[in-house]
Chains A and B, each alone.
Chain A
Amino acid sequence: MPEILVKYGGHISLATGKLEETYRVTGVTVMNLIDELDTKYPGFKEMFVPPEYGIMNMRTAIFVRRTGQPAQPILDPGFELQDGDCLLMW
């Protein structure tokens, strides 16, 4: 159950009402995180996985920053999160 820092960029911050939060993910993958955030912020998943496409990040983006490494985009819904990851979702 990785504890991560999630930052919300642009209009996503308007949808969540906050710029960031520390979050302990029950699952492991970025899709687990999206599912969990959808229960907290209804409609969240639709933004990140448009139902008509079923593909993550068609109209959004997620980047992860890990200590000592350059930030990377996440395109794979199975991407495994690690303790201490910092994610930016917009």
Chain B
Amino acid sequence: MARKYYGWKGRILRVDLSTGKITKEELPWDWARQYIGCRGINSKILWDEVRAGIDPYGPDNRLIFGVGPLDGTPVGMGRMSVTALANTRCLGEGGVGGFWSPELKFAGYDNVVFQGTADSPVYLNIRDDQVELRDARHLWGHDTWETEKMIQDELGDRDIQVRCIGPAGENLVHSAMVVGNLNRAGGRAGLGDIMGSKKLKAVAVRGSGGVQVADPDRFEAAYFKIREVLRLDTCMDSWNTAWATMGGLVLMRIFNQLGNLHTRNALQMQFDEAIDKCSGEELLKKYAKRPRACYCCPYPSCAKYFEITDGPYAGTVGENTSALELCFTSLLGIENLSAAMLGRTLCNKMGLDAFEVGYTLAWAMESFEKGILTTSDTEGRELRFGNEEALIELIPKIARREGGFASFLADGVAKAARSTGQGSEKWALEVKGQQLECMPQRNFYFAALGVGTSEAGPDHTRWYPPYPPHPALISPDMAKELKLDFDLKDVFIARKKEGKGTFLKFMTDTRAVIESLPFCIFLMRDKLNLDFRYWLELFNAGTGLEYSLDELIQCGERIMNLERAIIVREGFRREDDTLPYRAMHDPSDTGHPPLDQETWDFMLDEYYEKREWDIKTAIPTRKKLAELDLEAVTKELETLGIEVI
């Protein structure tokens, strides 16, 4: 008799794109218990089914869409995870909000696994138990907004939820994204290109079921406790109200004041000359029309629908989520917010990661200003900082690989710098082959360590938020009860090296839990950030398991170790946990010295020691893997000739 699942649906949908075969498999109970769901189970599938050294664009790669046990309830916030082996050979994992994930739960599935490669473009249509691959040749070449509408029209359902790729994914652009609900995008490590390599244009889903939690009354009580913490008038967190009203773009003026704002490829760290007119405050005043929240989100206006009504970009509409305009203003020295907003919309339509486009163009602009790139390389473009026309012109061309220069940029900043040479690697702001994403390093050591050690390349969501709540919020007794083994006052100090590794372990383990339940990482405010009893109660009430706090957090530790093993298997070691040259060698213009190697090594040592990883190699130890029931990981690494001590 099949096991009764609460929270989970207990089913995985597997689609072999090479053969067209679609199967429904039972979700192994041990996976649910040990990896929770969403990001965790996605990583488990990736580890089990993808062999070391495969071609990320070949049929042996997996593309996995996952939701978690709390998806479909108000807690899940519409979060989902997309996972694959990325083109950088890192873990490719991106969290996305919106409305797709509840529909997958309502349709009766926890994960969708794609394997193989289709002969011609297809899309998957899921309607409860009816699952079919449909011809997508007529959709190929269309942008994400057009694709979503065409599928909704074709299926006669304006509410069907769609995740799709644009031209960037089709053309295997390094930073292609999976996009849905017009402006919700995920996959920092380039998963749209993996989807494109499989000739999978979209996944549409509609469900008519529900989600059954184990103890509805207890679950509701636990949920309302979380809502109470997040109340805008009482929440004890400096970012809560600011974020809820302005979203990520509130960071612009704040980062600028802190000397943390990447400006002109981080040659400068402040954009004083134009910061006010490129800020979230300006967007709210001039362009925002109405809020656009994800599924059941209590924040009124983290995302905003905007319209540009005058000037050269009049008629542009889009949605502001997170701080992406930063990439197209300060980072490129562009003083026009509306140009950045148009850039964001173009990226969403093309299915491009705005961070990648921004950091790649910033590298190219600096290279041009230094004479490394010339107009003969740029096909006549004067690619200096501040050139907004080039930004707007190049985004669709990068996505479609139109022209030699756009195609060169489409391969990302790391490859562009490597092939150009002449010292330009020193200003390529990337780690593990993937561009940065606005988090500073030189005066923000915790963020630096998080960026440098991430298994998925620079990705702040794996350790967000980069600061703890006010120390007074967690009393010493509470800290003892929660077994918090770091000093909350210490981790507040931006440039103190001690304690950062210990804090990062806690944050990454617990965020792995949060992204597997899932819950929106940007709402980890006030006590929710550190007091995991809130999450324990929700998990237990939702699933019927009665985990202890240690057992729940250990699931996160298991996910982190498995994800480390995935990149170890691909050849990543301690020396790959690093920062861009600029962060470690050049002082910033705001008085912050570079983060020197000695400090970096100190923080790495502390982090690896805390994790019980080999500090020489950053490989999890045999003892740690055994403790986490990951003996099979040890065995496979050793089979591959990788020493596990």
Contacts and interface: CB of A to CB of B under 8 A. Distances in A.
B258 A59 contact: no
Interface in B573-626: 590-592
Nearest to B250: A10
A70 to B, nearest CB: 5
Given A11-B246, A90-B254, A59 B238 contact: yes
Contacts of A20: 276
A88 B257 contact: yes
Main secondary structure of the interface of B (DSSP, over half): helix
Contacts of B237: 59
Q: Which of B443, B472, B495 counts the most chain A CB atoms within 10 A?
A: B472
Interface of B: 234-238, 240-243, 245-246, 250, 253-254, 257-259, 276, 279-281, 443, 470, 472-473, 492, 494-495, 590-592
Interface stretch (A25-33, A34-42, A61-69): A61-69
A70 B259 contact: yes
A70 B443 contact: yes
Main secondary structure of the interface of A (DSSP, over half): loop
A12 to B, nearest CB: 8
Nearest to B254: A9
Contacts of A1: none
A82 interface: no
A65 B257 CA distance: 7
Interface string A65-78: 10011110101000
A22 interface: no
Interface of A: 7, 9-14, 19-20, 50, 53, 55, 57-61, 63, 65, 68-71, 73, 75, 86, 88, 90
Nearest to B256: A88
B242 A50 contact: no
Given A53-B236, A68-B591, 16 more contacts: A7-B257, A9-B250, A10-B246, A10-B280, A12-B242, A14-B245, A19-B279, A53-B472, A55-B470, A57-B238, A58-B236, A60-B238, A70-B495, A73-B494, A75-B470, A88-B254
Given A57-B470, A59-B238, A10 B281 contact: yes
Nearest to B246: A10
B492 A73 contact: yes
A71 B261 CA distance: 12
Contacts of A65: 257-259
A65 B33 CA distance: 49
Query: Which 8 residue pairs of A and B lie closest in terms of their CB atoms, listed nearest first?
Result: A10-B242, A61-B238, A88-B257, A71-B258, A10-B250, A11-B241, A58-B236, A11-B245
A39 B351 CA distance: 50
A41 to B, nearest CB: 15
B397 to A, nearest CB: 36
19 contacts: A10-B245, A10-B250, A10-B254, A12-B242, A14-B245, A53-B236, A55-B470, A58-B472, A59-B235, A59-B237, A63-B254, A68-B591, A70-B495, A73-B494, A75-B492, A86-B257, A88-B254, A88-B258, A90-B242
A79 B237 CA distance: 21
Contacts of A68: 591
